[in-house]
Structure 1
Amino acid sequence: MTSPDPVLVVSRVDDATADVVIEELNRRQVPVVRLDPGDFPVDVSVVARLGVPGLRGSLRTPTRTAFLDEVRSVYWRRPRPYTASPGMSEQDAHWCREEARYGLGGVLASLPGAHYVNHPWRNRDAEYKPAQLAVAARCGFDVPPTLLTNEQSAAREFASEHGPVVYKPLRGTDYQDAAGRALTVWVEEVDPAGLDSGVGHTAHLFQKRVPSVADLRVTAVGEEIFTVRISGSPGTDWRRHYDALSYSLVDTPAHLATCVRRYLDAFGLVFGAFDFGVDRDGRVWWYECNPNGQFAWFPEPITGRMVRAVADRLQHGGGRLDH
């Protein structure tokens, strides 16, 4: 099946946020081609010709075809890692995966005229937490005192000066136990006595704990900003306590909205999911920005507004829908 001017959704199968956006695009009768680079080369093929007219050719899945110069928008979500054909030696497979990353990946990042939400290279740049923190401070956010180190003595000194302190992973890297079960590294308060020689094994991010009374998840889609106040978390990391949480859509403070737009512009992002803590004095503290954050877990009245905003961007190639 060939779809004229489709939206290309780049993601894995088990992506609930991509699912609800695709459902909205289907409701609007906007053609969609869903593609996971992790299916290449077995179930995805590419033919790309580059010359004087520019990039031309096609992407094919088992059920869809997208012509490279006709893709109106790209919704870059959470694709699986690149793979290689079965039966290869590890060295050959590694070489093929890297060729796929720079070949197919380069094509997907270079579609002429397509509007990206977000461009994969902008996502990549904005995922580095040290860069996030530095840019956030320049954009006017209140950033808690933070230390990144692999020195035990520096970590202990920081904890002594700024305690209580939390540890935050620098990336959501896949992690498994000896039995192959997936593990999650949560944001946790640090016991200074536990800061042993293990600190020296890699880079660690420590941050002064905000005495928060609530959290804010601020989801920005272009010029539209949705601020959700999250209440009821009994622990440091509210993601561990979904059943205890309540959500309310609130007005975005003007200063916060200004800082959010500065931040998006600094990284070249269209979409960002920002997390903040609110202390007892009402001061809003920066935590992080996930350039590719989820939002399908909110109650439908909240999720629905975000879905429509994302679908508007994808349907109209960055332009605004006239209501």
Structure 2
Amino acid sequence: MTHPGPVLIVTMIDDPTADLVIDELYDRGVPVVRLDSGDFPAALSFAATIGERGVGGSLTTPTRSADLSRVRSLYYRRPSGFAFPHLSEEDARFATTQARYGLGGVLASLPGCLYVNHPHRIGDAEFKPSGLAVAAGCGLRIPETLITSDLGAARRFVRRYAPVIYKPLSTPLYRVDGVSCTVEIAEVTAGQLDESVSGTAHLFQRLVEKVADVRVTVIGRRVFPVRIDSDLLDWRTDYEKLSYGVVPLPEGVGAALHRYLDHFGLVFGAFDFAVDRDGTWWFLECNPSGQWAWLEPPTGLPLVGSMADLLERSPR
């Protein structure tokens, strides 16, 4: 009898969410191989074959080994980047590219593997303009939004829809005097805008005058909506000020969320909504690699178990 293969969990060493899922899978007797692609090649090696049956071969860490043809699922979390500090700049660039397309290409091509989520699909879904357009097409309400590098267009939009907020289109590492900083969501006025707008792309959005936020975590077919109460424009800036409660989904929202995930080929998503005084849910974004485990203790929702069920490929 063929025994089920392992779950691969791809993430950095400091990932408490992955730790919880791994502990749950271990308790169930499910084999797990945890790896950080950033450990390649010093503490991670692989030898992949590609033939008529697809990808085979092996992947090896200092403590585990996986048959690439028998991986049941891959949970792609937050791996660190490839690094080759012992090489020259040009050689390191070459080596990084080969690692990305070699190891990355193999991990993205495992036969019969359930991806949570597939790394290529994560990349597609991380584009905020795409997410907003797809959400609207799926029947979700979105605030009026402008993406531009045109100062005149930005000022006209802000005057028309004030109050308006600015959001970064992505959140790369940003350092000031060597200190990591977060580019926060902030309200803007037309008078604050100047020619620097023309320097790159910017996202401006009508501010939803909200009474609460909602984080909806979708794990497979299971949907977990949690209301988040605070007095913050962006609740992620101070978790100590937050309170939580489980809430029902408005009619039609659950089906729209699954249409959204199906469009991008995802099986997991962390959706953020703002709820206005009329009770309308406004879609803000979906993070295909979002955090979720911190919501289980204050709500009692079975998030860890549901993720383990999905990765185990359990019918429970």
Pick the TM interval, shorter chain: over 0.9
Change (3 A) 1:91 1:97: same
CA deviation string 1:155-192 (max 9, x = no partner): 111000001000111112111112x2110111111132
Residues 1:52 and 2:49 aligned together: no
Q: Which structure 2 residues correspond to residues 50-89 of structure 1 after superposition, within 5 A?
A: 50-84=50-84, 86-89=85-88
Q: Which structure 2 residues correspond to residues 190-229 of structure 1 after superposition, within 5 A?
A: 190-229=188-227
SS in 2 for 1:230: strand
Match of 1:292 in 2: 289
Cα distance in 1 for residues equivalent to 2:300 and 2:273: 19
Q: For 1:146, give the aligned amino acid.
A: T
Match of 2:122 in 1: 123
Change (3 A) 1:109 1:302: farther
- Superposed displacement of residue 4, structure 1: 6.3
Cα distance in 2 for residues equivalent to 1:298 and 1:245: 11
Match of 1:142 in 2: 141
Preserved contact between residue 167 and residue 203 of structure 2 (Cα < 8 Å): yes
RMSD: 1.4
Cα distance in 2 for residues equivalent to 1:168 and 1:53: 45
Percent of aligned pairs sharing the same letter: 53
- Superposed displacement of residue 250, structure 1: 1.5
SS in 2 for 1:206: strand
Q: For 1:49, give the aligned amino acid.
A: T
Preserved contact between residue 49 and residue 57 of structure 2 (Cα < 8 Å): yes
Change (3 A) 1:238 1:166: same
Q: Which structure 2 residues correspond to residues 269-288 of structure 1 after superposition, within 5 A?
A: 269-288=266-285
Match of 1:108 in 2: 107
Preserved contact between residue 296 and residue 303 of structure 1 (Cα < 8 Å): no
Cα distance in 2 for residues equivalent to 1:7 and 1:304: 23
Change (3 A) 1:312 1:301: farther
- Superposed displacement of residue 299, structure 1: 4.5
Preserved contact between residue 295 and residue 303 of structure 1 (Cα < 8 Å): no
Cα distance in 2 for residues equivalent to 1:310 and 1:262: 20
Q: For 2:204, give the aligned amino acid.
A: F
Q: Which structure 2 residues correspond to residues 263-274 of structure 1 after superposition, within 5 A?
A: 263-274=260-271
- Superposed displacement of residue 123, structure 1: 0.6
- Superposed displacement of residue 52, structure 1: 2.7
SS in 2 for 1:199: helix
Match of 2:311 in 1: 314
SS in 2 for 1:297: helix
Q: More deviation in 48-57 or 164-173?
A: 48-57
Match of 2:252 in 1: 255
CA deviation string 1:275-296 (max 9, x = no partner): 0000001011010000110012
Preserved contact between residue 296 and residue 303 of structure 2 (Cα < 8 Å): no
Q: Which structure 2 residues correspond to residues 88-99 of structure 1 after superposition, within 5 A?
A: 88-99=87-98
CA deviation string 1:205-237 (max 9, x = no partner): 000000000000001111100000001x22210
Match of 1:305 in 2: 302
Preserved contact between residue 234 and residue 241 of structure 1 (Cα < 8 Å): no
Match of 1:246 in 2: 243
SS in 1 for 2:106: helix
CA deviation string 1:15-40 (max 9, x = no partner): 22211111111111211100111111
Q: For 1:305, give the aligned amino acid.
A: P
Cα distance in 2 for residues equivalent to 1:129 and 1:206: 12
Cα distance in 2 for residues equivalent to 1:282 and 1:291: 25
TM-score normalised per structure 2: 0.96
Cα distance in 2 for residues equivalent to 1:248 and 1:129: 27
- Superposed displacement of residue 101, structure 1: 0.4
Q: Which runs of 5+ in 1 are unaligned?
A: none
Q: For 2:161, give the aligned amino acid.
A: H
CA deviation string 1:108-133 (max 9, x = no partner): 00111111111111111000000001
Cα distance in 2 for residues equivalent to 1:117 and 1:264: 12
Preserved contact between residue 10 and residue 75 of structure 2 (Cα < 8 Å): yes
Cα distance in 2 for residues equivalent to 1:193 and 1:83: 43
